[in-house]
Structure 1
């Protein structure tokens, strides 16, 4: 613990931390985009180990290649585990998935430029090292036991604890990739409405972005296997958060929820201390078994909040977490969808009017059905694809009303095109991959590596 960190003594301080996220001036709202991708050797589609060997590059070499191009390396126990530049960061997921966490930017043109610049650099590095980067929601060929594990101490703790809470937690850690967007809110009431709207509509994003139909080289029976994996990962820290729709929802209610989620770890002096299953409430009282007599810092609280994985997550902003990793264009389409729905007052009102009378039980049932049924999933007398048209129309109007134009005069509305194409032709990314698998790929799922490489 650094000398500048102070200990937390009350729940009120935790509530105040979330309240610090309020941004009453809509002009200050920012967009933070994130995406993950698998890294593989192009010669045989095998995954990169951390260190590499036998003349083959490892994940370490990839991170060093970014560092050689101007990114600042971040190390842990002497290993490079991340790189940062201009408010953005490249980090490693447990199975070596590369994640770009973008800087908070003003419009989708900027977020898409940031993503495109990163992927162009990744492609350049890929040519140098003979590796590829693949955007899918679930690894198409690897068995769980064949995924190399990255040297990050927090993941050792999570890998030991996950199997005690569900059967698919290790799959989530090692074999999935997502794309998400992080958005601001004006005040507590705005946060609650945005939270409710985005939770209710998250299954539609899952269907539109479904892109994980394969498991170990064969069709899995799911359009979004990634989304299905979350249904049996850890019930304490995943799901649709029914309490968000209840009276009394606000910053304090969310803090109470986070306090009741068992911990994973505590960081001290660059070390991860195993606190798996222990209570942050006990930590507040100085009774954490892993650190007897010690009280938490705000950094401990921030760490703990990152170990919750619901469909929408609250920090000092809201994270939309329901979409599969996917093609380049859809990495720009996801922020366009949610910004269109939630960053224009009229669009947000229309989205809330759409979902406000939906019973929680029906929303939850839809969330569980969509990973398999995709766009054809029935909901309240219509198919998801029909609802998606209405949702896209609201988002389109929201982006038009924002009026944020690129240097060449293009509207942010253009980033929705891949989603409009999906509702027009009825083919999600997953459905397209299954069609290719059944036709020109002749049952060879490994063809996806070259077909979908960035």
Structure 2
């Protein structure tokens, strides 16, 4: 490695600048965004659609890229994404899942309208190529040896990273290629506002995940879990996944988070051709002083890329990104931003949720996550029934949405987005358990019936 000056290439102030949104106690924007990952499936067999070919996911991207105003994104010559002319983007995950990322919306109801239209248009285009787009928690009919890997340059680097971890990274390739989720993003303002929101979202992610379990199938058969995705995540790079201890601290500060991120190695770095390359496996803080193998040292783009290589239940960058939930069926996809918006953007609900959950540490969260992966709402969280904790969080979220509606910050339609979660609690049947019931009706025809029931129309 080339020896560089001992002066770090980025100052502490520059590292903090990513999270510096001004000094106001509340954030000014309060926008909300969503990312929906959908499996690309053959409508009859449920098999994963390949990247290549006239009816592959690359062909779908190419058709989108041909639209006026669209901007294709390449990874060393491979088409892997498209920025849409109307805002938002479509990209491919490692195993071929199609991800739609919305532009930020002013409220949940607006996001439900624009996001729903965009997803239906995307699904209609996929239908022209002979496949269906199906949101959820995992590819239901695919085994790991059947994965159709997308030619991302970062894919072999990620697989090598997980292999280096040994048993701690054993499930990494499955998380990369087979799991699906629906994520939401939220704004924050001052350091105090950031700490308050982050603590609450991290603490609530674990019990609330029981409302969304939706990954009970693997290779066309029940896998013994209600969320194989959550089970995999609990066994994938424990240093950068799930619940990060500093994010639950009462005295959380940006500096504590920066110190944690500096202690972890970067996995890969951008190249001029749109690809990624490996980097020395040393803490990012060491790279700041010793540099990369080519003699350069990290800049802010590298720092932002490093933050994106964290797979925590709540990812902190310029926004707060909630990542704990399995993706729900399409008819319930707006429940994710609605649930989080009610807790994030209404301070009384946020504070009440923290009071409900404070005191549970990383160990309690880890034990509960494993239990929820197996038993869903029947699990326990820090000695309490998960069902009761999740029901209280849902009540607080609904209160938060009502308060925002009364203040003119949200539309009344947002409350209906929570209806699928109220139904889960009322029937005590999670999305996963409904899928298992569908399989029990007739295992032979399950793939076709599952796709028909859950594809984006």
Would you call these one fold, judging by a TM-score over 0.5? yes
Q: Within the alignment, does 1:277 sit opposite 2:275 as a pair?
A: no
Q: Does the C-alpha gap of structure 1 residues 344 and 130 become closer, same or farther in structure 2, counting only changes over 3 Å?
A: same
- Count of residues in Structure 1 that have an aligned counterpart in Structure 2: 443
Indicate if the aligned counterparts of 1:214 and 1:445 stay in contact, CA closer than 8 A.
Answer: no
Indicate if the aligned counterparts of 1:31 and 1:107 stay in contact, CA closer than 8 A.
Answer: yes
Equivalent positions of 1:149-298 (< 5 A) are 149-165=149-165, 166-246=169-249, 248-270=251-273, 271-275=275-279, 277-288=281-292, 290-292=293-295, 294-298=296-300
Give how far 1:444 is off. Answer: 3.7
Indicate if the aligned counterparts of 1:31 and 1:181 stay in contact, CA closer than 8 A.
Answer: yes
Indicate if the aligned counterparts of 1:22 and 1:186 stay in contact, CA closer than 8 A.
Answer: yes
Give how far 1:40 is off. Answer: 2.0
Deviations 1:283-310 (A, max 9, x none): 211333x333x22111111111111101
Equivalent positions of 1:264-343 (< 5 A) are 264-270=267-273, 271-275=275-279, 277-288=281-292, 290-292=293-295, 294-343=296-345
Indicate if the aligned counterparts of 2:404 and 2:410 stay in contact, CA closer than 8 A.
Answer: no
Residues of 1 paired with 2:442 and 2:202: CA distance?
Answer: 38
Residues of 2 paired with 1:222 and 1:276: CA distance?
Answer: 37
Indicate if the aligned counterparts of 1:22 and 1:185 stay in contact, CA closer than 8 A.
Answer: no
Give secondary structure in 1 for the equivalent of 2:238: coil
Residues of 2 paired with 1:394 and 1:98: CA distance?
Answer: 33
Which of 361, 386, 389 aligns to 2:388? It is: 386
Residues of 2 paired with 1:21 and 1:91: CA distance?
Answer: 32
Give secondary structure in 1 for the equivalent of 2:304: helix
Deviations 1:41-99 (A, max 9, x none): 335333222221xxx41111111222344533222333221111244111111011111
Q: Does the C-alpha gap of structure 1 residues 111 and 409 become closer, same or farther in structure 2, counting only changes over 3 Å?
A: closer
Give secondary structure in 2 for the equivalent of 1:370: helix
Residues of 2 paired with 1:23 and 1:408: CA distance?
Answer: 21
TM-score normalised according to structure 2 size: 0.91
**Larger deviation, residues 112-121 vs 276-285:** 276-285
Indicate if the aligned counterparts of 2:368 and 2:382 stay in contact, CA closer than 8 A.
Answer: no
Residues of 1 paired with 2:310 and 2:298: CA distance?
Answer: 18
Give secondary structure in 2 for the equivalent of 1:258: helix
Indicate if the aligned counterparts of 1:263 and 1:279 stay in contact, CA closer than 8 A.
Answer: yes
Deviations 1:380-399 (A, max 9, x none): 55422222221111100100
Residues of 1 paired with 2:18 and 2:357: CA distance?
Answer: 29
Give how far 1:371 is off. Answer: 0.7
Indicate if the aligned counterparts of 1:266 and 1:273 stay in contact, CA closer than 8 A.
Answer: yes
Q: Within the alignment, does 1:137 sit opposite 2:141 as a pair?
A: no
Give secondary structure in 1 for the equivalent of 2:105: coil
Give secondary structure in 1 for the equivalent of 2:150: coil
TM-score normalised according to structure 1 size: 0.91
Indicate if the aligned counterparts of 1:179 and 1:325 stay in contact, CA closer than 8 A.
Answer: yes
Give secondary structure in 1 for the equivalent of 2:325: strand
Give secondary structure in 1 for the equivalent of 2:412: coil
Residues of 2 paired with 1:158 and 1:27: CA distance?
Answer: 37
Q: Does the C-alpha gap of structure 1 residues 10 and 37 become closer, same or farther in structure 2, counting only changes over 3 Å?
A: same
Which of 52, 55, 58 aligns to 2:56? It is: 58
